Amino acid sequence: MKFKEGITEKNVIIKCGADKFLPFALTFGLYIILFGTISPGGGFQGGVCVASGALLLYLGYGYNIATKAISTEALRVNEAIGASLYVILGLLGIAFGANFCRNIFYNMGAVGDFLSAGTITFMGYAVGYKVLSGVGFLLLLMLGLLAPDPDDADAAPAVEAIEAAEAPAELPLEEAVDAAVATETVKEGVTE
């Protein structure tokens, strides 16, 4: 099947699976980040779950579409922002006369409330933001090394093989089925 601008469809099952699991991975990862201080989980685990969305995009749509949907430059910048937020939150302890990463808002809310962990809650959010940006960036970098470059002369046979495998069938479905049945009939006649 052909799509916009000559994009050919990858395996339908993988694409549909990526479409179904992507919202779940993003929602579950964000849930783990948000509620990491009052339930099992936290910023790191949730960040990795959210970053798995980049891998699902790659599996379903290929490297070019994944990099169009997720900018690697934006991920790199956002990773630095997440690290900076964590350091700023850690420096709040020093600003309030305690040590680095001290929980200074410890009396905020009752036990079990959404923001009951004080500064630790916001540090978990900063860690989640940094990890989802950093792991997503690393995934796209590693997947970029696997994607063949169409301009590379050494990769030209591989690119042609991939494009040939992704090319839609020339025959309509009924003709393809008839051809397959005719081939099976000929094979059965030869073996008997």
144-157 tens-digit pLDDT: 888 765 555 555 55
Q: How far is CA 59 from CA 12, 26, 54, in A?
A: 11, 16, 9
For 142, the token pair is 């590693």
Contact by Cβ (8 Å): 58, 66:
yes
Q: What average pLDDT does this structure show over 101-127?
A: 79
Query: Does the reported pTM lie above 0.85?
Result: no
pLDDT in tens, 154-192: 555 555 555 555 555 554 556 656 666 666 555 555 444
pLDDT of residue 148: 61
pLDDT in tens, 23-69: 999 999 999 998 888 877 788 999 999 999 999 998 888 888 888 99
Backbone angles phi, psi at 33, to 5 degrees: -65, -50
CB atoms closer than 10 angstroms to residue 170:
7
